[in-house]
């Protein structure tokens, strides 16, 4: 069983909590932060969505992401990041969600209690969506859609977005369009 290697990233003014499933093995990390694998497109998607530049958060010459730039952006924009699994067993030796068994879910209620302005929770991929859905007692929405839920007396919208993994068979531009639509719904014209 593997314990989650990262602390949740929870800027106090966050309006959004972005949840993946679980990080890959450390040998695949290009940075010590969420979505660390160089071949995962999350930070390229964010670059397209917010800056119309998929390389905005990359350091191509080093094949790594710019953690300082990512953290600064997320803090300024009000986006918290964590995962839906606190501990997992990898049934195969890779990072694929297909082969992740969630042994203990992340305590999402505890994360949200630390984010008083948060009104939206976004999952990235099927495993994260199913894990969150079980915790909050709702069926995950369709990709690109949202469903309301309540937790500890507060109301939220649960949005489901596609996995940023290249194993998910959609072009990055199509994924970015879905992300952009959801972030526009949440933030309006702030972005």
Per-domain residue ranges of the chain: 2-187
Structural tokens at position 151: 């937790």
Phi, psi of 123 (to 5 degrees): -105, 150
Angstrom distances, CA of residue 4 to CA of 58, 104, 110, 113? 24, 10, 16, 20
Angstrom distances, CA of residue 67 to CA of 30, 53, 71, 81, 90? 9, 17, 6, 13, 26
pLDDT by 10-residue block (mean), the chain, 191 residues: 88 96 85 93 97 96 96 98 85 66 85 97 92 93 96 96 88 96 87 43
**C-alpha span between 185 and 191 (Å, rounded):** 11
Architecture of domain 2-187: 3-Layer(aba) Sandwich (3.40)
Which pLDDT does position 5 carry in this prediction? 82
What b/e sequence results for 173-190 when a residue is b if at least 16 CB atoms lie within 10 Å of its CB, and e otherwise?
A: eebbbbbbebbeebbeee
Q: Which helix (H) or strand (E) holds 16?
A: strand 16-20
Which pLDDT does position 191 carry in this prediction? 43
What secondary structure, in 3-state letters, does 80-95 show? EEEECEEEEEECCCCC
Is-above-0.75 flag for pTM?
yes
- Compute the chain's Rg from CA coordinates: 15
Which pLDDT does position 96 carry in this prediction? 62
**C-alpha span between 165 and 68 (Å, rounded):** 22
């Amino acid at each position: 069983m593997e314990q989650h290697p990262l602390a949740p990233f929870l800027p106090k003014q966050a309006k959004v909590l972005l949840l993946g499933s679980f990080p890959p093995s450390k040998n695949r990390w290009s940075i010590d932060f969420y979505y660390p694998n160089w071949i995962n497109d999350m930070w390229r998607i964010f670059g397209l969505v917010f800056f119309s530049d998929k390389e905005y958060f990359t350091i191509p010459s080093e094949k790594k992401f710019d953690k300082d730039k990512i953290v600064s952006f997320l803090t300024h924009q009000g986006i918290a990041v964590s995962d839906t699994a606190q501990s997992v067993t990898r049934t195969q030796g890779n990072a694929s969600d297909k082969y992740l068994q969630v042994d203990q879910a992340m305590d999402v209620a505890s994360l949200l209690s630390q984010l008083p302005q948060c009104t939206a929770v976004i999952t990235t991929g099927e495993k994260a969506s199913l894990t969150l859905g079980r915790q909050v007692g709702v069926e995950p929405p369709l990709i690109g859609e949202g469903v309301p839920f309540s937790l500890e007396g507060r109301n939220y919208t649960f949005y489901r977005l596609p996995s940023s993994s290249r194993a998910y068979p959609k072009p990055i531009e199509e994924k970015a369009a879905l992300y952009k639509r959801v972030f526009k719904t949440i933030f309006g014209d702030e972005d």
